[in-house]
Structure 1
Amino acid sequence: MRLISRMIAALIVLLLIIVAGGAIGLSLYPPELLKVGDGYAAKIVCSNTFVAKRDPDKVLEEDVQAPGNPALKLIRVSVDRDEGVVTARFLGLFAPNYALYRGALGCTAVPDGDLQAARSAVFLNKIKAPKSDALWPDGDAVNVGQGEQGAKLANIVTNPDLAGPAMRAVVVVKDGHIVAENYGDGFSKATPLIGWSMTKTVNAAIIGRLMMAGRMSFDDQNLLPQWSADERRNIKLSDLLAMESGLVFNESYGSVSDVTRMLYLEPDTTSVAAGARQVAAPGERFSYSSGTATLLSRLWMNRLPNLSAAVSYPREALFGPLGMYSAVLEADERGTFVGSSYLYANARDWARFGQFLLQDGVWNGHRLLPEGFVGAMRTPTKASEGVYSQVQAWLAGPGGSNAQYGLPADTFWMSGHDGQTVAIVPSANLVVVRMGLTPAWADYRPQILLKRIMDVIKPASS
């Protein structure tokens, strides 16, 4: 999600046009790009205000108008807490974009401005997380920093060079227990944090739950009605999961592209990818696509009796059984979960999900994912040249292979924009969560953090 950094140049150009050319210059500039920027600001401020319980002014400054993004300082944001509405407007002058808080469903972008329709589209009751003094993951208690190893791990996760710039959370799970953790200023074990594209892996696990129930299969075809009359009817569910459908989708964040249109301009986030042309045979070409992940949300939701059942399903089938009580999977204006990007959960709950995958989809002795499903998450595809798996996970960390950093070959990754990662190392019985606001240009590599942790918990001489 490199939306912000790649919009800077264009927005600065706009500012110069405003100053130099006035209304004539503005007529030459695409207003949709302004609305993308507004939509991004409204959505980020909304979710962090109402879901993460952070101060909206601080969110605007730190998350939207971050250093290196001076043009975004021209966006003005207002928060109506009574109505749950966030309005963002470039320079406070142009047509605004909106985001709406919908309780247990978090926030949604409302690009068409129809707040009433967005309110009535979906509803999910809130639940109160039960408190428990049991050790994590069964409860909230942890026992970290024990002995020499604990002290070494504490030094690693609190080392700013290893945890990385703008770190918000690091959690280390060894043998099923949290053995080290650290949180950035203003964040805590309770703060829900956005996973961005790590959401894709969780969305895939929801499909795995439906497979377990016999409602979906890797071999499913003829997936959408609008595909039935052309070659797209031959696309299998497995092709979408592996990002090898052959559908065109522009994942660039530097303009009004497919992905920015999907997230910030379309009330129905599935419309862009569902209408995409197919330019390669299924399985022939790897093409990373957030549109594909949101289509997957629509597909699994279609397998449930109605929208109400579909909206409740992630909590009932996955988050509840795992004890991920902080998890908020957000939906678009029409009610489709944005399975590409918008899952908020605290770092300990992201660690619970990583531990779930480490345990091959088994939790408290109960198999929740089909046998072989997590194995497919760990199996590289030929079309991706071995970096992506058959099921919405990565076989390499950001910017480098496992071997390059001396990591075990069985390490696999969940990875999201701005430095979100969950590393899962089955051979070491280890999960490491790292969350932050660390843009790609910072060149942070979580593999280095993971390697240092592994040197402590599994030294080379052992």
Structure 2
Amino acid sequence: MRAVVKFIKWLFGLIVLAVIALFAWLYFAPPELIRVGSGYAAKIVCSNVFIAGRDPNEVLAVDVQAPGHPLLKLMKVSVDKERGLVSAGLLWTLGKSVAVERDGVGCASVPDGDTGRARQTSVHIEPLAVASQDALWPEGERVDALQNPAVTKIVDDAAIVGTGMRAVVVVKNGRIVAERYGEGFSAKTPLVGWSMTKTVNAAIVGTLVKDGKMALDNKGLFSPWKADGRAAISLADMMAMSSGLEFNEDYGDVADVTRMLYLEPDMAGFAETKPLGGEVGKAFSYSSGTAVMLSRLWQEAIGDKVKALSWPRTALFEPLGMHSAVLETDERGTFVGSSYLYATAHDWARFGQFLLQGGVWNGAQILPAGFVDWMRQPAPASKVYGNGQVWIEGPGDEENPGAGAAAGLPKDTYWMEGHDGQTVAIIPSEQLVVVRLGLTPAKLGYRPQAMVGALVKALHQ
């Protein structure tokens, strides 16, 4: 009997030591997957709390944990509103990550923990004037919705607007004719565009092209590239996602894209090191790393750091009246042009209308004449992606070309598209822009072509 008791005590002690060893390993040398998860949780909660004014517990439960990796269910967050800090970790302490809020440039993930350096990116920008509530959109925020029963039926149909819809805005002939919002969201809620940010970033490049500070045929874009085959990559190749550079865009694990966004303080520097994996100009590879490098390039073209940090607002957001727009940087001050623009649905619609009008707003030619037409021409290496970071066939249709035609969409339809169901459809021939924002994971199989096709038909009635 004593031997049995002794064995049980020995086994219990071994288990305790194993648990202590496991905890120590996870605390001092956490696997990268845990650090990616905690970095994601901290960043998403930070942006939604400080930009969108949402409740941190709701954001953690609904935006981070519910649709994400099972590991995220164990993530806990702590928010310090006075210091503008959010920390997250597995059970609060393991694989801990932090995100910091800065004036004018939103939140940044801080993978190396150097929040002091991250705060150096802050730039004081005078708040944009609030749009008039009395003036009609887009000059103001007032909406006189079109009383079209067929349109109303579409935007009220939960199945057609999709699970997790947070905002739908329909613009016809330059005016909002219908809008709907999910529970807890409104026309005043800034929402992340994810990869729709890429299109905005491409337009920012266009403002520098117009000013003569950048040229689409520029090559030898980064100093280390000049010594190898990457010297042949042009700015136009980067815009068309045809650089030939290796970059793994798989969000399911620790891939290049998740490493860049949540483990690298210098995102552009990380992406810049990638070697060639295909022929320059002929190999299409969708890459968030490419978009962040474009941000680095246009910021360097401006030269002055403070001026570069204010450029998106002064060159684009202010002229368009995008009063809510916040484009975020990484820890080192490079705009995350791949992913992190927050704006209200009304402001996303303003940008879509701006593209529909060929880069002209209130009579001012903000982008070079013909630049938007060039953006939506098929990229040399792709039939469904445009030269300027827009989709031609539509979200997801690189695997299902022709879905737009099947939904009855005009041939000139093109799209901005982002993770978890963010889309802006732009149809010049119909003078139509349709914004759809939400939290709709790809596994649900939702595509907005049917909604937009139905709206086209209804607006003809």
TM-score over 0.5 for the pair? yes
Structure 2 match to 1:370: 368
Q: List per-residue Cα deviations over 1:310-335 (Å, max 9, x = no partner).
A: 00100000000000010000000010
Structure 2 counterparts to residues 388-407 of structure 1, below 5 A: 388-400=385-397, 401=402, 402-407=404-409
Aligned partners of 2:430 and 2:380: how far apart in 1? Answer: 26
Q: List per-residue Cα deviations over 1:142-201 (Å, max 9, x = no partner).
A: 11033xx2x321221121011100100000000000000000000000100000000000
How far has the Cα of 1:257 moved from its partner?
Answer: 1.5
Which of 324, 327, 333 is 1:326 aligned to? 324
Whether 1:112 and 2:112 are equivalent positions in the alignment is yes
CA pair 289-69 structure 1, distance change in 2 beyond 3 A: closer
Q: Larger C-alpha radius of gyration, 1 or 2?
A: 2
Give the conservation status (yes or no) of the 8 Å contact 1:122–1:308: no
Aligned partners of 2:433 and 2:379: how far apart in 1? Answer: 23
Structure 2 counterparts to residues 349-368 of structure 1, below 5 A: 349-368=347-366
Structure 2 match to 1:194: 192
Give the conservation status (yes or no) of the 8 Å contact 1:42–1:88: yes
Q: List per-residue Cα deviations over 1:115-168 (Å, max 9, x = no partner).
A: 11111233232404333122111111111033xx2x321221121011100100
Give the conservation status (yes or no) of the 8 Å contact 1:421–1:433: yes
Aligned partners of 2:386 and 2:417: how far apart in 1? Answer: 12
Counterpart secondary structure, 1:181: strand
Which of 453, 456, 459 is 2:458 aligned to? 456
- C-alpha RMSD of the superposition: 1.8
Give the conservation status (yes or no) of the 8 Å contact 1:377–1:389: yes
Query: Runs of 5+ in structure 1 lacking a partner?
Result: 1-17
Structure 2 counterparts to residues 37-436 of structure 1, below 5 A: 37-66=37-66, 69-132=69-132, 133-146=134-147, 149=148, 151-384=149-382, 386-400=383-397, 401=402, 402-436=404-438
How far has the Cα of 1:261 moved from its partner?
Answer: 1.0
CA pair 323-56 structure 1, distance change in 2 beyond 3 A: same
Structure 2 counterparts to residues 13-32 of structure 1, below 5 A: 22=19, 31-32=31-32
Between stretches 405-414 and 65-74, larger displacement belongs to 65-74
Q: TM-score normalized by structure 1?
A: 0.91
CA pair 157-222 structure 1, distance change in 2 beyond 3 A: same
Structure 2 match to 1:7: none
Q: List per-residue Cα deviations over 1:218-243 (Å, max 9, x = no partner).
A: 10111111212122111100000000
How far has the Cα of 1:202 moved from its partner?
Answer: 0.1
How far has the Cα of 1:70 moved from its partner?
Answer: 4.0
How far has the Cα of 1:73 moved from its partner?
Answer: 1.7
Between stretches 407-416 and 154-163, larger displacement belongs to 154-163
Between stretches 336-345 and 18-27, larger displacement belongs to 18-27
How far has the Cα of 1:103 moved from its partner?
Answer: 2.5
Give the conservation status (yes or no) of the 8 Å contact 2:169–2:180: yes
Aligned partners of 2:408 and 2:233: how far apart in 1? Answer: 37
Aligned partners of 2:422 and 2:75: how far apart in 1? Answer: 26
Give the conservation status (yes or no) of the 8 Å contact 2:395–2:415: no
How far has the Cα of 1:214 moved from its partner?
Answer: 0.9
Structure 1 match to 2:442: 440
Counterpart secondary structure, 2:120: helix
User: Identity, % of aligned pairs?
Assistant: 57
CA pair 452-21 structure 1, distance change in 2 beyond 3 A: farther
CA pair 230-134 structure 1, distance change in 2 beyond 3 A: same
Structure 1 match to 2:4: none
Counterpart secondary structure, 1:96: strand
Counterpart secondary structure, 1:432: strand
Structure 1 match to 2:6: none
Give the conservation status (yes or no) of the 8 Å contact 2:123–2:306: yes
